[in-house]
Amino acid sequence: MTPPTPEQILADPAASFWLKEALHKALTRDPVDALNDAETLTAVLQGRLNNLMPKG
């Protein structure tokens, strides 16, 4: 499956305002810096989710 393009996400009424705003800002940045920051944010949010999930 091919990931959506930035244009598709920005035009998608189901995409959150937060995602659209973050994507719009990321597209104005150096792509390497933007990707590094996105990967860091992904790791932080994944860790937060893991900590919130019940241990079982």
What does the pLDDT look like over 3-56, one tens digit per residue? 999 999 999 999 999 999 999 999 999 999 999 999 999 999 999 999 999 987
Question: Using the 8-state DSSP alphabet, how is residue 2 labeled?
Answer: P
- Torsion on CA atoms 4, 10, 12, 13, rounded to nearest 10: 160
pTM assigned to the model:
0.83
What is the per-residue pLDDT for 56?
Answer: 75
Distances (CA, A) of 29 to 13, 19, 34, 36, 53: 24, 16, 6, 11, 34
pLDDT in tens, 23-33: 999 999 999 99
Domain spans in the chain, listed from the N-terminal domain onward: 1-31
Distances (CA, A) of 38 to 14, 22, 54: 21, 10, 26
